């Protein structure tokens, strides 16, 4: 089977050295294995993504000397496909409409914590969404939606996991000397949002649908997405999608040890190029 790699940036800022590491690793691994290299634009969030950034992504990647297959998949053009996946999950009874605002959840967390109680948090430190709406009467929920009440669709983690029975989720991580099966516990994230009111689909839903549709066999991405993989494995199982292998690569940090951010002038690919840096300098700087 031909290996298929992809680089999947979101056009919400300029590319920096961290993106270069991901893109070059995918590109080079595809070349070394006679595989394919795809570029996917993850522009599902209209609040944060801009076409200008997409143009810069193409220019910067070409400048680095990378080439990819055309046409490039742009997520904003495939919302119907993600909606179908959501509908399938709805059909299984593992998603529900969630009406509590972020402010309301925040208030409850603050109240609980002020009384000395604990509120469970996800691996990013964000409080888990309360679970009480899982059992909202469907007719009541439908009426609230009909009345135009703002809501998003969340995965009922308990029901979703119950569908797997005694099966234990895991993924194959290939970064180390020997590939390793990593146990996946998606319940760390609670009832994750799959469809938002302010952006169609979520990162989690669209990424698993697209990786499967595009036949991606190897997901090579930053370590910051390591803990998202349990959610991806769960969605793949529910939607009956194949599991790629995963490699979560090291993250680059700046001089002060902070994770690179899009605003850092000293690490942006464009700024580095304008200051006279060459693609080989970039490879050297990121240790390739
Ligand atoms: N679009 C995601 C990002 O820019 C990457 C998604 C992935 O590689 O799975 O962080």
- Give per-residue pLDDT as tens, 203-253: 999 999 999 999 999 999 999 999 999 999 999 999 999 999 999 999 998
Confidence of residue 265 (pLDDT cuts 50, 70, 90): low
Establish how many alpha carbons lie within 13 A of residue 268's alpha carbon, considering only the half-sphere containing its beta carbon: 13
Sign of CA dihedral 9, 11, 15, 16: negative
Q: How confident is the model at residue 176 (pLDDT cuts 50, 70, 90)?
A: confident
Domain positions in the chain are 1-77+252-288
CA separation, residue 118 to residues 37, 111, 127 (Å): 45, 10, 10
Establish whether residue 221 lines the binding site of ligand 1, counting it when its CB lies within 6 angstroms of any ligand atom. yes
- Ligand 1 pocket check: which of 40, 221, 248, 251 to mutate, most ligand atoms within 8 Å of Cβ? 221
Pocket-testing residue among 10, 60, 210, 243, ligand 1, by greatest number of atoms within 8 A of Cβ? 10
Best mutation site among 18, 42, 61, 222 for ligand 1 pocket (most ligand atoms within 8 Å of CB): 42
* pLDDT of the residue at 281: 96
Distance 131 CA to ligand 1 centre (A): 28
Is the pLDDT score of 164 beyond 70?
yes
**DSSP classification of residue 74:** E
Q: What is the pLDDT of residues 17-57, one digit of tens each?
A: 999 999 999 999 999 999 999 999 999 999 999 999 999 99
Per the structure block, which two tokens stand in for 106?
A: 């925040």
**Architecture field, domain 1-77+252-288:** 3-Layer(aba) Sandwich (3.40)
Contacts 24+ apart (CB under 8 A), 262-269: 262/12, 262/13, 262/14, 262/16, 263/13, 264/16, 267/16, 267/17, 267/18, 268/14, 268/15, 268/16, 269/14, 269/15, 269/16, 269/17, 269/19, 269/20, 269/60, 269/63, 269/64
DSSP 199: S
Atom 6 in ligand 1: residue holding the nearest Cα:
8
Looking up tokens 């680059």 gives: 252
pLDDT of residue 261: 66
Q: Is 19 in the pocket of ligand 1 (CB under 6 A)?
A: no
Q: Is the CB of 10 under 6 A from ligand 1?
A: yes
- Binned at pLDDT 50, 70 and 90, residue 191 comes out as very high
Res. 197 pLDDT band, cuts 50 70 90: confident
């Amino acid at each position: 089977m031909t290996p298929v790699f992809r680089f999947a940036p979101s056009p919400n800022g300029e590319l920096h050295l961290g993106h270069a590491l991901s893109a070059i690793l995918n590109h080079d691994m595809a070349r070394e294995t006679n595989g394919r290299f795809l570029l996917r634009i993850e522009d599902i969030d209209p609040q944060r993504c801009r076409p200008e950034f997409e143009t810069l992504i193409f220019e910067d990647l070409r400048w680095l000397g990378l080439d990819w297959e055309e046409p490039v998949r742009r997520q904003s053009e495939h919302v119907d496909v993600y909606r179908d996946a959501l509908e399938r999950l709805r059909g299984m009874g593992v998603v529900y409409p969630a009406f509590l605002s972020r402010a309301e959840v925040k208030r409850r967390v603050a109240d609980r914590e002020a009384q000395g109680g604990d509120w469970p948090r996800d691996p990013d430190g964000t409080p888990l969404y309360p679970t009480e709406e899982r059992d909202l009467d469907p007719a009541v929920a439908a009426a609230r939606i009909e009345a135009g009440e703002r809501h998003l669709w969340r995965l009922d983690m308990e029901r979703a996991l119950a569908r797997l029975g005694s099966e234990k989720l895991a993924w194959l991580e290939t970064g180390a000397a020997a590939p390793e099966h990593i146990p996946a516990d998606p319940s760390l994230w609670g009832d994750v949002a799959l469809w938002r009111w302010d952006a169609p689909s979520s990162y989690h839903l669209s990424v698993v649908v697209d990786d499967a549709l595009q036949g991606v066999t190897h997901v090579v991405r930053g370590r910051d997405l390591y803990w998202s993989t349990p959610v991806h494995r769960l969605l793949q199982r529910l939607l009956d999608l194949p599991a790629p292998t995963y490699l979560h690569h090291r993250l680059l940090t700046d001089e002060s040890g902070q994770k690179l951010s899009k605003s850092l002038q000293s690490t942006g690919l464009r700024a580095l190029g304008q200051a006279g840096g060459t693609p080989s300098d970039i490879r050297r700087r990121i240790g390739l």
